Structure 1
């Protein structure tokens, strides 16, 4: 979780904006149920009459109401209305005054309503108060005592019932004044409906904008992570690549980052929104005064229990899933890469079983997690519907007893569903978050892995210390062992490869030839000793400068998707067309390139799968020649060439590289007979150094290799 939040650090401003939009959305979402309640209670049941305090009433009604009020409330009432032509019109609009008037007038209006049901007009009450011998204050005290007794009789339903009966009295008063109640009701419904529509449009706009911004942030996070992982992997040496494996790095760069991207969207949309709507719903429920708050407690308790059970069951499987995806990618990569070998050995059935096992293991884990998670939605819906039934059952009793209005019950149901949905959103994210946490940890492992091969410190960087590089490579007592290995692969290697000379490295399989060559471009760093170019330790050169001095041809030719031209100019943008065609001619590749309809613009498929092994190797050699480096490194790069092509290539190459050092790893002695220096390796140690003739005379290991490959006539009796 902390890693995911770390990825969002650069987007704090956007996250704050999204939070503000979500607050607007939540406000609209939480306000709509109140308007729905008002439409039912006020618009339908009360014919659009919003308050107990009427907008207008007869002056006799006002005088009758004053008889029920204290002197303070009576003064407030008289200040609130202006009487003109026998009609008292409301002149105040502040909610505090109106709320106080509503509270003061409710019971008096109920009393007048009940009198009206008995045929007694307010004017009769006024006349009674004006009779001779009746003290007005005593009369008012008697009336207040009556309404207090009436309120006690209503009990718990007093507020709701008095309000409803007072509204009935206001409707009668409006009718007496000739007010069109149908028009009043229609106006209220249209006004409230318009407010709901405006809130809905605002909520939709906020939700869409927040979703769009969240998607942009998530996409940016994904792009940044892919870039960081790619840059990090490109900087890895062979040791780091071997530690993670190619298949795992691909999974981390794709599937794992996709998981994080999905969770970032959910974090910004659901995790931020759920608490707002949940807390807001609880606050709104508390203001409904329905007495059903205990239902919320029951719902939350059941939901938390469900979430805990699901997380306990599913969490270990989510952690295992990413490893199984790695396994499927690994097996798939091996099978697709070695498809021809698999067919040649008729191992299709075995490999199918191997892939099927990896696939079924992943499927089994995914089915388990999906089945577990598929239970969540039905369970949530069961809880939601059960809560709705419980609310209707409890609310129906309240409506029947007069302690609750229908609109309040509807609003309570809506708020409860919002609270439940908030927990549902949190539960969905809580299930996905651990899986994303695993992915984030795997990505962070890549980003936090220290790179073993890196540029020197600025004070040691000797890029600019030499203006003219000759390309003399010197091994000074070099030893090397692989990370975590128990023994050295190379021990105390010392020799010098001079410019204008060819240095060949030969030895039995596993003697360390390719490993020795790979130390020069720093695919690995030496464990002991040092390697220098023109007297400068290669560890004191930037990798960019070092690689600019080298032309490397790997044992297995590697081409990239594109064209022949793009592959031959892979060494730099400064390679001209003339240098490219000259390199192709030297590498004996020009003939088959020109034979293609599109020539140098002929497409190369991924991995060079649309050219033969020999053509791929020649193009790899041409790519190194076109760069015109100071040191050529050939890692058994002529093995796929026939003798005729090999001989022609070497003749042409000898003229091109006469000023550069050439280091060749070879299996065939016939390719290195004329090398100025041959280094013989035996189990990682130097068994001999010299020319072919010198080694045939002095090195038993070389003699053994030579006699196993060449006839006596070819050897010319040397060393016999």
Structure 2
């Protein structure tokens, strides 16, 4: 709770004023039945018209004040709860931005979206109810109880019995409902994941005519969530009939015993009338308290999920005295091993010892799962090595300021991402201060100017979310141009020219050699033609270096590289995995694929 309360920040004033005005509203409301009793006893029964006018005017003033205080309490409650939710979302979002890839791997995207939307909305509603109704209801309960005991201590004893009964019922309901609500919000994650997956891959769904399958999958998730909600609400709704039972039971009891007290002369008609009013106020306050407990029961599951994100400690931290300057683009892997899950015993990279000079062009080739992307992710410290060290510019990457290091290591990822906005706005992700001329020059180097100039709006063309209105090859070239604008000391291309033709690929590589000769370039590719002009080529196999050398050296000495080269040139196949599978175990008999196991 302390973690959440820190998010109130600039809304402390509104948070404090809400219960203050709610308390004043309660005082006015509690005094109204007392004034009503005075009008009946002194005015009507005493046949004193001046008393009726006097107490009537006082009631009008008190009612107007109650209305004013209630409106102010509502206003400040809305401001405080909305501001609290806003701060909470900002804090969660900022926290997520500090996460390393390993932290992000712990939470699914759908789960993070649910936590920042549905869960925070639940907490916001609970917070508003706590600062307003949780003050109003107990005050009304206490004040009404006090007034009831002032009027008739004997009749008021039945309220204590009613409160104990309701407390037992409410505790039982909350005990069973809490477990169901915990499961409900986990199912929300599944539902959001289904929506996100379907919408982002809608073209594939339609291409394979899988709409019915996706509808069925979503329907199952929605039905599961429906059944859980019905079960949870079925438990919570028991609160209302129990409350009504107590309310009407108290009214019947007061009517029965109150009538006897009036006949006996120990109670006046006005006192009985005010006692009825206090009874209703007392019972309504109990109902509001039960609603608060139910809301808190729902929100506790959300609070736990939110705090999981806020309490998550980023695996990658800046050192106490970080280095700000990267001397050059030299890269050293000093006997590096890496596993995504520490202690799992399954290393993705094993004893990598590789030394790259600044300005050198290195090709990296290997099959799926050989560790190519994992290797380059260690350079910009998206992950930390499990064993050994990775050095850039002669300094261990763990000694750099993360932002300073990543500003000098530009990465074009395997999965290219563009954001909604113009082409220029997307390009300036590489350098927010880049001029239009610099953006155009970067696009020329990446061979992106060819298609941009054909757009009616050219560089002001609006790209939809994810860049869905450009082709895969165009998207790759825009991402390369964006990376070039950073003027990095290290440029990493993670299979980022797979969607462009070989002629364009060659133009891009030639531009790299001419435009950024001093930048260290690491090119991950499946095509031999994309890396054969590199200074050196690294062949990865099962997380280990299988061979290092120039194109000619590897053709002469490395069996895997030679077989792939021959298969791509003779058969026109670029499928590394298939060819690698055929040559990695030449003595094994070929197996026929079983479609059932695909």
TM-score normalized by structure 1? 0.76
Distance 1:3 1:398 in 2: 54
Specify the SS of the correspondent of 1:680: strand
Please give the per-residue CA displacement for 1:637-687, whole angstroms capped at 9, x wherever unaligned: 000111222222222232112121101111100111111110111111111
Look up the match of 1:667. Answer: 526
Q: Is the 8 A contact 2:8 2:87 kept in 1?
A: no
1:36 and 2:39 are equivalent in the alignment:
no
Distance 2:121 2:205 in 1: 33
Specify the SS of the correspondent of 1:597: coil
Candidates 667, 675, 678, aligned match of 2:537:
678
Candidates 513, 532, 535, aligned match of 2:391:
532
1:402 and 2:261 are equivalent in the alignment:
no
Distance 2:6 2:511 in 1: 57
Q: Is the 8 A contact 1:678 1:690 kept in 2?
A: yes
Q: 1:678 to 1:508 in 2, by over 3 A?
A: same
| Mapping for residues 357-436 of structure 1, pairs under 5 Å | 357-436=220-299
1:511 and 2:511 are equivalent in the alignment:
no
Q: Is the 8 A contact 1:476 1:495 kept in 2?
A: yes
Q: Is the 8 A contact 1:290 1:408 kept in 2?
A: no
Q: CA deviation at 1:43?
A: 1.4
Q: 1:591 to 1:377 in 2, by over 3 A?
A: same
Look up the match of 1:62. Answer: none
| Mapping for residues 113-262 of structure 1, pairs under 5 Å | 185=49, 187-262=50-125
Specify the SS of the correspondent of 2:162: helix
Segment drifting more, 396-405 vs 257-266: 396-405
Look up the match of 2:591. Answer: none
**Structure 2 unaligned regions, length at least 5:** 574-598
Distance 1:429 1:45 in 2: 41
- The aligned length equals 572
Distance 2:291 2:473 in 1: 56
Q: Is the 8 A contact 1:299 1:420 kept in 2?
A: no
Look up the match of 1:181. Answer: none
Distance 2:153 2:43 in 1: 20
Distance 1:312 1:713 in 2: 66
Look up the match of 2:471. Answer: 612
Q: CA deviation at 1:7?
A: 4.6
Specify the SS of the correspondent of 2:154: coil
Candidates 467, 471, 482, aligned match of 2:340:
482
Q: 1:3 to 1:475 in 2, by over 3 A?
A: closer
Structure number with bigger Rg: 1
Q: CA deviation at 1:688?
A: 1.0
Q: CA deviation at 1:203?
A: 1.4
Q: Is the 8 A contact 2:324 2:404 kept in 1?
A: yes
Q: CA deviation at 1:713?
A: 12
Look up the match of 1:340. Answer: 203
Distance 1:713 1:219 in 2: 61
Q: CA deviation at 1:191?
A: 1.9
Specify the SS of the correspondent of 2:152: coil
The CA RMSD measured in Å over matched residues stands at: 2.0
Candidates 472, 476, 500, aligned match of 2:330:
472
Look up the match of 2:459. Answer: 600
Candidates 686, 690, 693, aligned match of 2:552:
693
Q: Is the 8 A contact 2:14 2:79 kept in 1?
A: no
Please give the per-residue CA displacement for 1:290-335, whole angstroms capped at 9, x wherever unaligned: 6311331233233224323422332221111110101111122222
Distance 1:456 1:450 in 2: 15
**Structure 1 unaligned regions, length at least 5:** 49-184, 715-720
Please give the per-residue CA displacement for 1:171-216, whole angstroms capped at 9, x wherever unaligned: xxxxxxxxxxxxxx1x322221111111111112112212221222
Distance 2:99 2:152 in 1: 65
Candidates 646, 649, 652, aligned match of 2:511:
652
| Mapping for residues 538-549 of structure 1, pairs under 5 Å | 538-549=397-408
Q: CA deviation at 1:2?
A: 5.7
Look up the match of 2:23. Answer: 23
Structure 1 stretches of at least 4 aligned residues deviating more than 4 Å after TM superposition: 1-14
Distance 2:552 2:571 in 1: 14
Distance 2:235 2:56 in 1: 42
1:562 and 2:394 are equivalent in the alignment:
no
Q: CA deviation at 1:44?
A: 0.9
Q: CA deviation at 1:8?
A: 4.9
Look up the match of 1:492. Answer: 351
Distance 1:258 1:392 in 2: 43
Specify the SS of the correspondent of 1:659: coil
1:633 and 2:492 are equivalent in the alignment:
yes
Distance 2:250 2:476 in 1: 73
Distance 2:152 2:286 in 1: 23
